Structure 1
């Protein structure tokens, strides 16, 4: 019992350590902090005020929404109170019976606040109304109406921008939890799986990767987060993916690949991070977005392949079984890329397909040269 708890504690601490050392989390957030920024550089955030407001968290947006309206109502109520006081309209000033007020029924700070609120929100309950006897008050109600309209437009724009942010569309793009290395079409490949959870397409989708690792140069300089390009592709190429269903994308491990020098027994001892990017344009909103995820050596499985998830039912509909999205099956694979390419007979190929028990088996009467999914 104690051994089991100790093992769980060690696994938990190891997972936390790995999570802290990642540059990009599994959901695409960048784990990086900026320090010692010069004070005058902070003014750049104020100059780009719109982007700063749009990028802050929802709690601060809602706080700013409430504060901007409440403070504007209160500040304008003080001015209306001052106008009423200057005209002798307040109750404690004991105005005569034939006195003509600037604003009807504004006789104190509370009524001044209510009138300010009713003016800026264009409610108008019919009890408090401005009179034409104070030209200054008429000009001021125009100013308040214009400022209130500006606040309304700004806050509505901020909320709409945050709601329609491309980052939210990226939430419905998911990657497999693990990457796999196995033979594919006569080559040793690193494969990942990506799916679009919405039926609306991602137009012009492109996927690519960056391998981040620490590298020492011949001059003795240590490069932290040195980036190496990793190309991903499908059988049809690497550009303009037809992202209508989950795709399995692969990177060919050849002599130009940074994975060529790795082997099954040394992969998990390496220190690197594979960051994968998917760029595309949402079909429904025409907004560009980028989806990111990362894989560390412990999340790359050597000698495995993904289970099939696409099938066609009896009613000729294509179906996707997401229960198999991240599931893998072992396949015969060379224990290193060098052996795969240079030692004859050292690698083996598994059968080209796997049974998918989630769907019914049907007879397809297509011509023999038609490729089935």
Structure 2
């Protein structure tokens, strides 16, 4: 039932060569393309036939600009100022035109009192718009008491300019300081592994934080299994999301990432992977999503890092290489990140955790120490 060579159990040896040959088949890698979450944490989801989608995005313009690419955000940033200068410049030009300041007989008339002194062309009105909006005040052009509408509009543009500047600067600052950038220093192992730990089959992956000074506090790691499920009534639930319980050392989902840590999911009776064997892994289609969330120590902002593992990225019968060692000369712990993704073969039963448990229950009395 179960091929195993582990410790005191005197059973059959595992066939690693068969497992390697199947894992290198092209059919396995074709399955990896159907993933809901990319390795970098971005969702592989496209929304279609959403009514009034553009209107909804425009109603939440701030979030839309923060989530947009930098080129579009900077483009909106520049265009908002240029268009506001141009629009207010046109209005200043119209105020001067309706008051008669631009007529030939009044332009050079020293006795004529214009709305804005020394604003005789459209280019002059545009420059006055820029000076007013940003309170530059070169002193060459100024508003007089002749036109009440000019005074009111002067106050309006000053307030509007402050609002536009605050809005756009807020977008750029939020985009630069958002916690998403903190997740770039969080590392996940390229592969997850399945092997025995403490006599039980476990699904494991490694996670680490490359920052030395500012750590994540209150960090939690959650995992979700995505695969199809058929109910007793024949209903196909696809995709169906199931929670995978994670333990780190002797703790629960919370972890302090002083050094790279291996997260462990014990494949027991409560695990949806309880009936998964090495042969099933070659043909199974599922995805394990990992979500790490914590608070940045220096800023107090909550950040989140995500990744996923397809069935073809789960290595059966492997274990992660140790990274942490103590240096007696430096009197400190050293972490070798060059081996962060490295794994090595270990003797592991090829059967499922369910069959392994049954096998051990039957043969436990026959074990010779």
- Conservation of the 8 A alpha-carbon contact between 1:340 and 1:346: no
Give how far 1:301 is off: 0.5
Give how far 1:52 is off: 3.0
Change (3 A) 1:18 1:61: farther
Counterpart selection for 1:334 from 339, 349, 356: 349
324-333 vs 79-88, greater mean Cα deviation:
79-88
Tell me, yes or no, if structure 1 residue 265 matches structure 2 residue 265: no
The CA distance in 1 between the partners of 2:240 and 2:156, in whole Å, is 56
Tell me, yes or no, if structure 1 residue 292 matches structure 2 residue 303: no
Tell me, yes or no, if structure 1 residue 195 matches structure 2 residue 208: yes
Matches within 5 A, 1:239-250: 239-250=253-264
125-134 vs 296-305, greater mean Cα deviation:
125-134
Change (3 A) 1:323 1:179: same
1:363 corresponds to? none
1:101 corresponds to? 114
179-188 vs 65-74, greater mean Cα deviation:
179-188
2:336 corresponds to? 321
Tell me, yes or no, if structure 1 residue 21 matches structure 2 residue 37: no
Counterpart selection for 2:167 from 154, 158, 162: 154
Change (3 A) 1:149 1:11: farther
137-146 vs 335-344, greater mean Cα deviation:
335-344
Counterpart selection for 1:215 from 219, 222, 229: 229
Change (3 A) 1:143 1:182: same
- Conservation of the 8 A alpha-carbon contact between 2:221 and 2:254: no
SS in 1 for 2:202: strand
4+ residue stretches of structure 1 with deviation over 4 A?
10-15, 17-20, 41-44, 91-94, 344-347
Give how far 1:119 is off: 1.2
1:303 corresponds to? 317
Count, aligned residues: 336
| TM-score (structure 1 length as normaliser) | 0.83
- Conservation of the 8 A alpha-carbon contact between 1:195 and 1:247: yes
Give how far 1:20 is off: 4.2
1:93-149 Cα distance to aligned partner (Å, 9 max, x none): 553232222222211111110110111122223322222332221221111000000
2:137 corresponds to? 124
Counterpart selection for 1:37 from 28, 43, 50: 50
Tell me, yes or no, if structure 1 residue 71 matches structure 2 residue 83: yes
Tell me, yes or no, if structure 1 residue 343 matches structure 2 residue 338: no
Give how far 1:180 is off: 0.8
Counterpart selection for 1:62 from 65, 74, 91: 74
1:236-272 Cα distance to aligned partner (Å, 9 max, x none): 2114312221111111112222222222222121001
- Conservation of the 8 A alpha-carbon contact between 2:31 and 2:285: no
Change (3 A) 1:144 1:93: farther
- Conservation of the 8 A alpha-carbon contact between 1:339 and 1:346: no
| TM-score (structure 2 length as normaliser) | 0.84
Tell me, yes or no, if structure 1 residue 234 matches structure 2 residue 240: no
The CA distance in 2 between the partners of 1:217 and 1:326, in whole Å, is 38
The CA distance in 2 between the partners of 1:346 and 1:74, in whole Å, is 86
The CA distance in 1 between the partners of 2:82 and 2:257, in whole Å, is 47
- Conservation of the 8 A alpha-carbon contact between 1:207 and 1:238: no
Higher relative CO (Cα under 8 Å, sequence separation at least 6) belongs to: 2
The CA distance in 2 between the partners of 1:323 and 1:62, in whole Å, is 37
Unmatched runs of 5 consecutive residues or more in structure 2: 1-23, 365-369
